[in-house]
Amino acid sequence: MLRVSEIFASIQGETSYVGLPFAFVRLTGCNLRCRYCDTTYAYDGGEEIPLEEVVTRVTLFGIPRVMVTGGEPLLQEETPVLVTALLDLDHTVLVETNGTVPLSRLDPRAVRIMDVKCPGSGEAGKTAWENFGHLGARDEVKFVLSSREDYRFARTVIETYGKKHPFQVLLSPAFGLLSPEELAGWMVGDAIDARFQLQIHKLVWGPDRRGV
C-alpha cells in the first residue's frame, strides 16, 4: 500500500523535462518543513491505495512519462517498488526527492531530481551528502533560491560535488521571494553552468491551484 495525496496529469512545470505532458503521483508525508513549501497539504492525510491500483491509474492517462513526488516520496518503503513497476512498463520515471533519504534503493533506470535545501529554506544542513555518489549524468540537482546567500551556497555545493559526480544543475527563484530577473543576472554574470528555471505550472494556472 502507498499513502497517496493525489494522482493527476499535467504539463511538467520544472526540471529539464519542462513543458512535456506527465502523469504525477504525489505521495503523502515529508520530513522537512521548508519556509516556502507550496505542497503543505501533502504533509499528512491522503489515501491508502494498493500499489497495483496506482500503476493502473497512471497507465490510464496514456502518458509515457511519470513524476513520483511528494512530500518526500522515499519515506515510504514501497516507493522503489512503484518506480520499478512503472519502469518495467517502459515509462520514463522521475523521482523528486529532498536528498535527505538514501537514494541507493532506487532503480538505476529512474531519473533522480534531488532538491538540495539552501539556508533560506530553514532546512539547510539536512542533506545526505553521500547521495551525490548515486547521481549520474541524467540526474538533476535542484536549488530553490530566496536570496544571494542561497545562490552562494548553491555555487559552493556545485563546485564541491560537481567535480566528482556528473549531474545537471537547476536554479529556481523561490516564488514571490526572489526576483527571476535578479537570479538570471547572477547566473549570466558568473557564466555558471546551470539551467535557470521557473515553475511554469504556477504561471499557467496560478500559485495555489492543486492537481496541475
Instruction: Express each pLDDT in 136-148 by its tens digit.
Output: 999 999 999 999 9
Q: The pTM is what?
A: 0.93
Cα–Cα dist 83/104, whole Å: 13
Position with higher pLDDT, 175 vs 138:
138
Mean predicted lDDT score pLDDT of the chain: 94
97, 107, 145, 148, 186 from 155: Cα distances, Å: 20, 29, 11, 11, 11
What pLDDT, on the 0 to 100 scale, is given for residue 199? 79
What pLDDT, on the 0 to 100 scale, is given for residue 163? 80
What pLDDT, on the 0 to 100 scale, is given for residue 212? 63
- Closest C-alpha to 208, from 175, 179, 177, 172: 175
The stretch 73-98 carries a mean pLDDT of: 98
pLDDT digits (tens, 9 = 90+) for 101-137: 999 999 999 999 999 999 999 999 899 999 999 999 9
Domain span at residue 117 reads 2-205
**88 pLDDT exceeds 90?**
yes
Cα–Cα dist 157/92, whole Å: 28
Query: What total of structural domains would you count in the chain?
Result: 1
Of 60-69, 147-156, 157-166, the least confident: 157-166
The DSSP annotation for 141-209 comes to: EEEEESSHHHHHHHHHHHHHHTTTS--EEEEEEPTTTS-HHHHHHHHHHHT-SSEE---HHHHHH-TT-
Is 162 within a domain? yes
What pLDDT, on the 0 to 100 scale, is given for residue 36? 92
Is 99 within a domain? yes
Is 212 within a domain? no
Phi, psi at 106, each rounded to 5°: -80, 140
Is 71 within a domain? yes
Specify whether the CB–CB gap between 179 and 151 falls below 8 A: no
One-letter identity of residue 56: T
CATH of the domain at 200: 3.20.20.70
